[in-house]
Amino acid sequence: MNAPTAQTPTPTTAMMLVLTGIAMLSGLLVVLTDQLTAPFIAENQRLAIEAAVNKVIPGSVIHRQFRLLDGRLLPAGEGADGQIIHAGYDADGRLLGVAAEAGAQGYAGMIYLLYGYDPACECIRGIKVLKMAETPGLGDRIMTDADFQANFDRLDARLNPARTALIHPIVTVKHGSKQEAWEIDAISGATISSKAVGKALNASARELLPRLQPLIPELEEMNR
């Protein structure tokens, strides 16, 4: 009877070299993929923001991006600090509005949106949801429901005489009970998502508009 043949053990050093090589190759592929796709991702994001600005600043054909920092307007490419704002102008260079991002917790996660502020009427003229995870057919109706979107034709965002705060906080009210220009009529069955939009707009407008208002004349001259 033949004795069983013993298996030759794989040298530990060789195994480590193979695993190290695989890890290095995988890391290199990840880096190369990131470098190759980053420009396309950035361009797609730019086009998405451009389309959103067009929606929330009706009639705008020229867009300029700035950073708002310490009471000053800086080119968007300078540094990483400060809030990004988008100024929209008509073909003659007249300022039509300013767009900014806002966010609040919805039913299934954070809701991020872009809204347009018209300094002529001191009102919000439109919103565009940028990212959310709300329930299809319910919470996601904040994007598609025409009556809900109509809340933002001229949503009151006036500042007090001292220009330090909103006269009236922006609030979401029960569906069918809207009576004031600063109220948002909720979607029946999507109250939490509707309220998140109101919270996002109120928090952003309360913080941004007092800082933005003194800079409106400067923005008006930027594209003359």
Tokens of 175: 């569906």
How do residues 190-223 score in pLDDT, each as one tens digit? 999 999 999 999 999 999 999 999 999 999 998 8
- pLDDT higher at 158 or 31: 158
Predicted pLDDT at 46: 54
Q: What is the mean pLDDT of residues 182-197?
A: 96
Distance CA 207, CA 209 (A): 6
Q: Above 90 in pLDDT, residue 30? A: no
Rounded to 5°, the CA angle 36-41-44 comes to 140
Q: Flag the least confident range among 8-17, 34-43, 46-55, 145-154.
A: 34-43
pLDDT of residue 116: 97
Q: What pLDDT score does 159 carry?
A: 98
Of all residues in the chain, the percent with pLDDT exceeding 90 is: 70
Residues 36-88 have pLDDT tens digits of 765 555 455 556 678 889 999 999 999 999 999 999 999 887 767 889 999 99
Average pLDDT, the chain: 89
Phi, psi dihedrals of residue 216, rounded to the nearest 5°: -60, -45
CB 175 within 8 A of CB 188: yes
Taking residues 137-164, what's their average pLDDT?
Answer: 95
What pLDDT is recorded for position 209? 97
Tell me if the pTM is above 0.85. no
